[in-house]
Each structure stands twice: as C-alpha cells, then as structure tokens.
Chains A and B, each alone.
Chain A
Amino acid sequence: MENIVESNTLLNVLCLEDDLKDAELINEMLVDAGYLVSMDIAEGEREYAEFLKGRNYDIILSDNSLPGFDAFSALRLALALKPEIPFICVSGTIGEEKAVELLKHGASDYVLKDRLGRLAFAVSWALEGAQNKKEKQKAEQELIIANKELIFQNEEKEKRTIELLKALEHAEESDHLKTAFLHNISHEIRTPMNAIVGFSALLCEPDLPHEKYKHFTDIIIQSSDHLLSIISDIISIATLEAGQEKISEKEIDLNSTLKSMHEQFLQKVSVKTEYLNLKCLLPESQLSIISDETKLVQVLSNLIGNSLKFTKQGYVNFGYLVKESVLEFFVEDTGIGIPPEMHQEIFNRFRQVDGTAQQFGGSGLGLSISKAYVDLMGGKMWLSSELGKGSTFYFTIPYKRTQNIPLSDNQSVDKIKTEFKTAKTLLIAEDEDSNFLLLEQILSGLNINIIRAVNGIEAVNICKTNQGVDLVLMDIKMPLMNGYEATKQIKSFMPNLPVIAQTAYSTNLDKNRALECGCKDFISKPINRGLLISKIKAQLYIPST
C-alpha cells in the first residue's frame, strides 16, 4: 500500500450522479486506468454544494440531467466556490452543441456515457491542465512579487539619488559659505593689518610730532587687539568644527563674574554708566553655581559687544533669571533690531544682516560660536527683535548649584577680612609664579607670614625644618613630587598640620583623592577669595565673624 501512496495517483473525485450504477462504472473506469479513487457521490444539488464546500477535490465529474439541476448550474457553483478544480461533464444526454457551450463556460471536458472509454484519458488531461494552470498562476504570482521587489528597489534608488542630490546641494552651499567666509575673513584681517602696517611705517618718519606718535601708537594697539579677536574667533570655529571644544565646569560665583564683566565693558567702551546696566536677580547666597566660566563669559561678552555695537541710543541691559532647572540669561538693547527673516539665519556662520558688515564690521562668527558654546553647555539660544526698536538675545544654561553655600567675595569679605590676632605662618606649595602672586595678594593684610615651596619635595623639607608652619596650601600638580604625595609625607611626621588642597582639578574624584591623602579641605581654581579665607580660618579655629 505504501507504494501506492508514493506513486501519487490518489484521485479525490466529486461525482454528481443520481444513477449509482453509472457512478460505479465511472469509478471502475478510473481504477482500471490506474487511479486510486476516493469518490464522493452527490445525488442532488444540496449534497453537491455541501461536498464542494467541505472538501478539496482533484476533479468534478458531473451528470447533466438531474431532477431540478443540470451541469450548467453545477459548473456555475463549482466556479464560484472552487474555481481551481477541473470540471468534466459526463452525460448520456447532453448534445454536442450544449457540450460545446459548457466548455465555453469553463468546463474542462465532456465525456459521453456511451463513449466512457475516453473518461480516464479526459481526466488525465484535465488534471494536467489544472496543474499547468496552477503552476502558471504560481509563476505569475512570483513574477508579481519580483516586480514589486524591483519597484521597491527602484524607489529606494530614487530616494538615495534624491538624498545624494541634497547632500551635493548642501556641500555646494557649504562650499559657497566657506568661500564667502574666506572672503569676509580676508577683508576683516586686512582692515586692521592695513592700519598696523601703514601706521607702523609712519612711526619711522623722523620729526614726527609727539601727539601724532601717540595717536598712531593707539591706532596700532587698537587694530592689533581687533586682529587678535578675529584670530581667536577663527581658532574657536576651527576647534568647534573639529569637535575638540570641551566643557570644563567649575564652581563660579555668578554675580561677581557678571560684575567684573560689567566693569570691564564700562572701561572698554567708555560709555556712561546708565547706558550699560547689569541686572542680577538672585540673592547672592545662592549664586555659587557649577559651569564653564570661560565659555559663559565669552558668550555674554559677545552678546554685550554686539548690542553695544548696534545701539547708538538708549540702553543695553543684561542679567539673568532662574527658570526652574535653568538659568536664563538675557542681553537687551534698544539698537537697530534684526528683521524677522534673519532671526534663525543670524546664528549661521558668516551670516550678518545684509549691509551690516560694511557699516559695523565683524566677522559674522561671534553668534555662531556663542550658539555652539551654549549648545555644548547644554542650553539653548534664541532672540526676539523688532526692526528699529531693539533686540533681546536669550540663552540658557543648566542651573547646577554647589552643595555648600560659599561666602561671596564682595559681600562677606569685609566681615572675614579681619587680621589674625597672632601672626600665622602659611606654606604655599605652588609652582606657578602668577598663581603664587595671586594667593599672596589675597592673603595680604591678614597678619600672615607666607613661605613658598615650588614643588612637593621642597614643601616636605620646609615642614621638616620649619616647625612654625600653621597651615599648608597645597597645589596638586607640581614638578618632582605632586601634592598628593607631599601631603602624605608631611602627614607622616606632622599629623596635626592642616593641609588645604588647591587645584585646577575640580571633579569629586580629585577632591576625594586629596581628602584620602590627608588634606583637611579642598578649594578649586580659580580661587574665590572669600571662600579661601573662610576655609583657612576654619582650619585655624578662628570663627569668621
């Protein structure tokens, strides 16, 4: 039996036939022809429909003359329900004409009952035809899928082409802007260079009157400063472009930073005090924040500089507000204003409002650098402006407060700047002259004797030979021996001598490492004056009030 199944000749037949003898004969013919026949015999319409719905057949063999039903109806039903099954009319009564009509309607074949010898052959042809049709449909289906795939690939290619075209456009645009930039920069550099070269040559004139000499020198110095600022802008752009610009956050006293900026601008632009106003809107005790002071100052300076440049009447205000987790800075002026279509454009590199470069100068880099810095610091920059009435530039930075509330430089220094009643001796380990001079300056007038060591080894030796040292201010990064090692050694023989680490390394990790080495406290550079004094006093057990 296994072989029969393997030989694949199982034939599922639906036979519509009310004469069971005829059905039996049909069955026999097929068996004789080598088919393994499984036949359902339907004697009427209802049975036929049920069989048709219930099972899948290989072939339908239909009589034509049934009570209330004929081959045409049977064919119609078959085509509606199972169009893939071949349909053969097996009839004794159907005439040639009707049979041909049936073929036109979709029947595969017809076999006359008195020519039943043809049946097996007709069945084999019908099956073959159905198989071919199936394969054709499958091939067509595959073709459709392949076609869809091709269309999809084509679309992808088109998309890619559009992307490439866009990229090309962008590159061309960028190229165009770079050319414009070079052109601009070239002009910007040549202007001060022209003054420097020209007036330097004039200085060589013999018999030059003194006031002219003074005037020319001023022009040269001014032009040099201008040139320098252009060069630093270009360097900033290059660094930003190379992705090299990093944020270095430190503890800063915001109010004093802004105040010193205010003072600098007042001197620089020599304007009336009421012309440039600083508006600090936070109580000073909360103003110690963590941020990148250099960049913050650079951004603000640029905005203030711009505002002053474009404001001939009225005022320029700057300051900040606290808005939830951010500090919102503003620089407000009553200058010429910026047309609305330029509000976004102006932050792009080399973009200035048309005509302003000629009238007011500038490289067109300041705002784009400022915006890039604000982005780096984790903030946003935008503006509101009305032509002829003025502009306000805003930017935010994250509001990161320090944990301990430091004493402010300006407010509390007077209180703590009281002399020590007995003279104290301080060892300052610091390899940089300028840093040492600054510390010396900060601590002057407090009745403090200062001894300096320029590296770790010297610091250790001084502590060994000079028993009178009351406190050590220890730099960390020094030649020969660093501050960590020096502190450890000093602590080994003078465990009670307080050491305060002072360093430009400002992360918590650095702080913890210093404390692990035996430092009592830690202060980061740049040194806040009030904070340093209060820390020193705390270590020397003198209350700051």
Chain B
Amino acid sequence: MVELRTILLAEDNRKDVELTLEAMAENNLANLIIVVKDGVEALEYLRCQGKFKLRKAGNPALVLLDIKMPRMDGIEVLRNIRSDNAFKRIPVVVLTSSREENDLINTYDLGVNAYVVKPVDFKQFIEAVKQIGSFWAVLNELPPEKSF
C-alpha cells in the first residue's frame, strides 16, 4: 500500500484550521494534515528541525499557505521553499483572505502553484477547500521525490 503523503497547513487562525480540517475530512481525504501556526514552524517541518526533528522523512504532497502569519509570513515561506533544491517542486497553494494585487504578483513571481481567496461564506469555504484537496491531493500528479 502506498503511504499517503501529508498535507502541511500553515494557518494561524483556529477557525480556518477547523474548517479546513472539516472540509478535508468530508472529502474523505485520509492524508495526515500537519498544522503549523506560523512561517517559522512551516519551514521547521519541511527541514525536519525543532520539534519536527524526529518526524518521518519526506516532503508533503501539498503546502497550504496563509499569507498573514506571525513570525514569518507566507511570502517569505514561499521564497524559502522555491530557493531550496529539496523543496522547490512542492506544490504550494496560497489560501488567504487577501486580495491585494501585490500579494498576487509577488506569490506568482515566486512560483506559487495556485492562489485561492478564502470565501467568507462557511459553505463556500468548505467547498473551496474540498476542491483544492481533491485536485492537488488526488488529481494532480506529483513530481517524483529525490530527483533534483
């Protein structure tokens, strides 16, 4: 049995995390979702540092990235991911409440795979996450690991 790869969710808002987890569950996605609360923890997870020192090796199938987070924002995390050979091919989806042009331009320049604005409505939010989940974790073919 092929082990399902994890999804890394970087999000500091508890409600958004709960909704995201709920949507993923409703989608019957059995992937382990690792939740981190800021950009620093997100990079620590990827690099197996800090409290993630003992985690099983391997990149997540997807990084869901909020932009406004404490300590390090999503754009900086994205910059780090894309500039690191070990992580540069990981699909990164920005999931944010920001519609700012600058954020859109910056993230696309940095090579984001998708940019989704969080719907304010609860049901629409669930629906959006469901779609992201089924597309990126199921439909989308991931690049082979360890081939950089």
A interface with B by C-beta (< 8 Å): 3-4, 7, 9, 29, 31-36, 114-115, 117-118, 120-121, 124-125
Contacts and interface: CB of A to CB of B under 8 A. Distances in A.
A454 B37 CA distance: 110
Contacts of A7: 50-51, 53
Nearest to A125: B14
A33 B52 CA distance: 7
B35 interface: yes
Contact of B51 (A9, A29, A117, A125): A9
B81 interface: no
Contacts of A29: 32
9 contacts: A4-B53, A29-B32, A31-B54, A32-B6, A32-B55, A117-B21, A117-B25, A118-B25, A124-B35
Given A32-B6, A32-B32, A117 B24 contact: yes
Contacts of A120: 34-35
Shortest 4 CB-CB distances between A and B: which pairs?
A34-B51, A9-B51, A34-B52, A121-B35
Interface of B: 6, 14, 17-18, 21-22, 24-25, 31-35, 37, 45, 50-56
B17 A31 contact: no
A507 to B, nearest CB: 87
Contacts, number: 49
B35 A3 contact: no
A166 B21 CA distance: 73
A29 B31 CA distance: 11
Contacts of A31: 54-55
Given A115-B25, A118-B21, A125-B14, A32 B34 contact: yes
Contacts of A35: 51
A293 B132 CA distance: 116
Contacts of A33: 34-35
Contacts of A121: 17, 21, 33, 35
Nearest to A121: B35
B47 to A, nearest CB: 12
A125 B31 CA distance: 21
Given A32-B6, A121-B35, 7 more contacts: A3-B53, A7-B53, A29-B32, A33-B35, A34-B45, A34-B51, A115-B21
A244 B22 CA distance: 95
Nearest to B7: A117
A121 B34 CA distance: 8
Contacts of B18: 118
Contacts of A9: 51
